[in-house]
């Protein structure tokens, strides 16, 4: 049996050597060559070899004492130390985990007994990093994938970009995907990431055979925060409570631990007390993407790409209208522009004015939808796209002032929300009047910048648009993410269309009073773990 395991180890070393000498796999030493289900001593020795417990730099003796490795692993993983491949050990080895090795090429380190973080020996020379979501999964919508999963607590700053010329590319793959580090189907390995460097350096890959979630199960954000730790230069921690521990388990209260923070600060130092905005320093990528070519940017009328819209609302067919001057865009659920758009507002909604203030959709039934359009002191109504007779009418019929900024109807509590300047009004569609106690300060919507340009109720979350930026407001958390450029995310515009240097910081309001009504309703929404996000917002504001 041990003779076979030695052969396996030698074969593994040979494969690793071939991979390195190839030249194209310049980052291959970061990542496991293959993965196996551990069922016996042979596959266990492969596990130790793949994950760099046994030195892969040629310094290993040819005969290994497998029992001593079981003891080291059991101690490291925090399970009973028996020195044998018992069921607990086998289960642990086969449980969901990161695909990166647990140690460097010189094998298991004595320091692993100190229960702390490890580093990969590479760091980014610049403190400002760019990342690009190159590919997505059908498990989650693009906007959920794009939540802020980046690491606070260090001097690093991050910027999402919309071209592949980024420091960190994020993608989803199945099985063999061109980097010599195959995924393994459902279960076991969930993801892997490359340590800092050019080409694939810093890139994160997720195993698309997993079902990623925004709640319990394989939570994408929790896996991603671990993987980006590797992208920044951290290895696996022997502190099993750390995010950088190799094995994955869903955490109810998800946050970076002290060990993770100590690790990242050992590489990049603590956050600068007065952050300066640095220009992005992005090196040309030396390795072309091998599996998924980025889709070329679509050519759109210049008018769209400033991303400033007067109003946004769900359309009759379940897509999204964006109004801008005398034009209207229809963005489809896959974030492409519907054929025939943009077009004149008067062509899409006969009788509606240009330069509207706000709009909302009232869905009575799937075949009965009323679209309300507001401008100045008047409003118009369209039933299933057909203008209703007798309009426009006076906005005062709603009990609100003229010239509002935005409006949406939330089906969760059958209320209509009207926003103006730093206040909002809540209209009760059962009593046909504004609820008592309104208007309320807009600051109750945690972290939303104001005054807003428009607001949209869309797929379980609320989107606030201000100038050229938008913020996802997580209904289940009742808090907003950092602003992101509207034109790039919603219209697929290129960077050039955006004004350079425009920044916006979210307001920081700790008022978590839930009188707005949304958070009183039993959660119809995706539960999203945003403790890291929340901390990030706090720090960045
Ligand atoms: Ca897998
Ligand atoms: Ca508006
Ligand atoms: Zn890992
Ligand atoms: Zn990969």
Neighbours of 247 (CB within 10 A): 16
Q: Which ligand is nearest to the CA of 189?
A: 1
pLDDT at position 389: 87
Q: Which of 481, 457, 450 is nearest to 150 (CA)?
A: 481
Q: Would you say 214 is a known binding-site residue?
A: no
Cβ contacts of 192 within 8 Å, gap of 6 or more: 31, 32, 98, 99, 100, 181, 204, 205, 227, 230
Give the largest Cα separation in the chain, rounded: 90
pLDDT at position 272: 66
ipTM given for this complex: 0.70
DSSP 79: S
Work out the angle between the directed axes of helices 87-94 and 66-77 (0-180°, nearest 10).
70
Q: Are the beta carbons of 115 and 207 closer than 8 angstroms?
A: no
Strands (E), 90-151: 97-98, 128-133
Tell me, in angstroms, the distance from the centre of ligand 1 to residue 96's CA.
Answer: 8
Q: Which ligand is nearest to the CA of 218?
A: 1
Q: How far apart are the first and last CA of the chain?
A: 60
Q: Encode 25-53: b = buried (16+ Cβ within 10 Å), e = exposed.
A: bbbbbbbbbebbebeebbbbbbbbbbbbb
Q: Which of 159, 179, 152, 195 is nearest to 282 (CA)?
A: 159
How far apart CA 434 and CA 455 sit, in angstroms, is 19
Q: Are the beta carbons of 416 and 430 closer than 8 angstroms?
A: no
- Count the residues in the chain: 541
| Secondary element (H or E) of residue 19 | helix 2-21
Q: Which of 310, 388, 402, 393 is nearest to 349 (CA)?
A: 388
Residues around ion ligand 1, judged by CB within 5 A, are 184, 188-189, 207
Tell me, in angstroms, the distance from the centre of ligand 2 to residue 291's CA.
Answer: 41
How far apart CA 524 and CA 459 sit, in angstroms, is 11
Q: Are the beta carbons of 50 and 33 closer than 8 angstroms?
A: yes
Domain ranges across the chain: 2-114, 302-519
- What are the structure tokens assigned to 330, written together? 């229809």
Q: Are the beta carbons of 178 and 171 closer than 8 angstroms?
A: no
Cβ contacts of 365 within 8 Å, gap of 6 or more: none
- What are the structure tokens assigned to 506, written together? 């979210």
Cβ contacts of 154 within 8 Å, gap of 6 or more: 232, 264, 265, 267, 268, 269, 270, 271
- What are the structure tokens assigned to 440, written together? 């309320």
**HSE-CB of 35 using CA atoms within 13 angstroms:** 27
Q: Which ligand is nearest to the CA of 176?
A: 4
Q: Would you say 57 is a known binding-site residue?
A: no
Q: Would you say 244 is a known binding-site residue?
A: yes
pLDDT at position 302: 37
Q: CA dist 509 to 172, 221, 529, Å?
A: 36, 24, 19
pLDDT at position 410: 83
pLDDT at position 104: 79
Give the residue numbers annotated as catalytic, written as ranges: 227
Q: Would you say 236 is a known binding-site residue?
A: yes
Q: Are the beta carbons of 458 and 444 closer than 8 angstroms?
A: no
How far apart CA 480 and CA 85 sit, in angstroms, is 48
Neighbours of 353 (CB within 10 A): 17
Q: Which ligand is nearest to the CA of 310?
A: 2
Q: Which of 112, 106, 116 is nearest to 73 (CA)?
A: 112
- What are the structure tokens assigned to 122, written together? 């590479």
Tell me, in angstroms, the distance from the centre of ligand 2 to residue 495's CA.
Answer: 24
Tell me, in angstroms, the distance from the centre of ligand 4 to residue 179's CA.
Answer: 5
Strands (E), 391-494: 393-394, 406-410, 415-420, 423-428, 433-434, 440-441, 454-458, 461-466, 469-474, 479-480, 484-485
Q: Would you say 208 is a known binding-site residue?
A: yes
Q: Would you say 509 is a known binding-site residue?
A: no
Tell me, in angstroms, the distance from the centre of ligand 3 to residue 229's CA.
Answer: 8
Tell me, in angstroms, the distance from the centre of ligand 3 to residue 240's CA.
Answer: 12
Superfamily of domain 302-519: Hemopexin-like domain (2.110.10.10)
Encode the chain (541 residues) as per-residue pLDDT tens digits: 344 343 333 333 333 333 333 333 333 344 544 556 898 888 888 888 888 888 766 666 656 678 888 999 998 888 999 999 999 999 999 999 999 988 877 777 766 567 788 888 888 888 888 988 888 888 887 777 766 566 666 778 888 888 888 999 999 999 998 888 889 899 899 999 999 988 889 999 999 999 998 889 999 988 999 999 999 999 999 888 899 999 999 998 888 888 998 998 898 887 765 433 333 333 334 333 333 333 333 333 334 577 889 999 999 998 999 999 888 999 888 778 888 888 899 999 999 999 999 999 988 888 888 999 999 999 999 998 899 888 888 998 899 999 999 999 887 777 899 999 999 999 887 778 898 889 999 988 888 888 899 999 887 788 999 988 888 887 777 778 888 888 877 877 765 433 322 333 333 333 333 333 333 222 222 222 222 322 223 323 3
| CA dihedral over 179, 181, 185, 190, signed as positive or negative | negative
β-strand partners of 247: 97
How far apart CA 321 and CA 329 sit, in angstroms, is 6
- What are the structure tokens assigned to 453, written together? 């340009």
| CA dihedral over 54, 56, 59, 63, signed as positive or negative | positive
pLDDT at position 247: 95
């Amino acid at each position: 049996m041990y003779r076979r395991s030695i052969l396996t180890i030698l074969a593994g070393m040979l494969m690793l050597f071939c991979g390195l000498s190839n030249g194209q796999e310049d980052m291959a030493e970061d990542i496991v060559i293959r993965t196996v289900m551990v069922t016996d001593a042979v596959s266990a020795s492969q596990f130790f070899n793949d994950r760099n417990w046994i030195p892969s730099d040629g310094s290993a003796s040819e005969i290994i004492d497998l029992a001593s490795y079981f003891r080291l692993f059991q101690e490291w993983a925090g399970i009973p130390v028996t020195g044998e491949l018992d069921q607990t050990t086998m289960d642990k080895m086969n449980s969901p985990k990161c695909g990166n090795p647990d140690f460097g090429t010189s094998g298991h380190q004595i320091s692993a007994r100190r229960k702390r973080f490890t580093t990969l020996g590479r760091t980014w020379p610049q403190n400002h990093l760019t990342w690009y979501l190159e590919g997505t999964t059908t498990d989650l919508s693009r906007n959920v994938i794009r939540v802020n999963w980046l690491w606070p607590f260090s001097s690093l700053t991050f910027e999402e970009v919309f071209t592949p010329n980024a420091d960190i590319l994020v993608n989803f793959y199945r099985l063999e995907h061109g980097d010599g580090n195959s995924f393994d189907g459902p279960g076991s390995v969930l993801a892997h990431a490359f340590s800092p460097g050019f080409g694939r350096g810093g890139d994160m890959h997720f195993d698309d055979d997993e079902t990623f979630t925004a709640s319990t199960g394989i939570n994408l954000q929790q896996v991603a925060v671990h993987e980006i730790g590797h992208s920044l230069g951290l290895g696996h921690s022997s502190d099993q409570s750390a995010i950088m521990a190799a094995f994955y388990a869903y955490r109810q209260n998800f946050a970076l631990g002290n060990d993770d923070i100590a690790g990242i600060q050992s590489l990049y130092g603590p956050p600068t007390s007065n952050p300066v905005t640095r220009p992005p320093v992005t090196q040309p990528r030396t390795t072309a993407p091998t599996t998924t070519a980025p889709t070329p940017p679509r050519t759109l009328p210049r008018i769209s790409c400033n991303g400033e819209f007067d109003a946004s609302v769900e359309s009759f067919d379940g897509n999204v209208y964006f109004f801008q001057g005398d034009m209207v865009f229809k963005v489809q659920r896959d974030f492409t522009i519907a054929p025939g758009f943009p077009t004149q507002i008067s062509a899409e909604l006969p009788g509606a004015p240009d330069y509207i203030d706000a709009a909302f959709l009232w869905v009575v039934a799937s075949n009965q939808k009323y679209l309300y359009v507001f401008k100045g002191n008047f409003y118009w109504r369209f039933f299933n796209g057909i203008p209703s007779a007798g309009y426009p009418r006076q906005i005062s019929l709603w009990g609100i002032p003229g010239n509002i900024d935005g409006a949406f109807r939330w089906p969760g509590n059958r209320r209509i929300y009207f926003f103006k300047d730093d206040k909002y009004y809540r209209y009760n569609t059962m009593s046909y009047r504004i609820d008592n106690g309104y208007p309320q300060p807009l600051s109750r919507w945690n972290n939303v910048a104001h005054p807003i340009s428009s607001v949209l109720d869309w797929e379980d979350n609320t989107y606030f648009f201000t100038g050229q930026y938008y913020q996802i407001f997580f209904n289940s958390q009742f808090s907003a993410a950092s602003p992101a450029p509207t034109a790039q995310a919603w219209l697929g515009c290129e960077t050039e269309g955006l004004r350079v240097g425009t920044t916006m910081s979210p307001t920081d309001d700790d008022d978590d009073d839930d009188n707005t009504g949304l958070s009183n309703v039993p959660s119809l929404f995706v539960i999203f773990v945003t403790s890291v996000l929340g901390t990030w917002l706090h720090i960045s504001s």
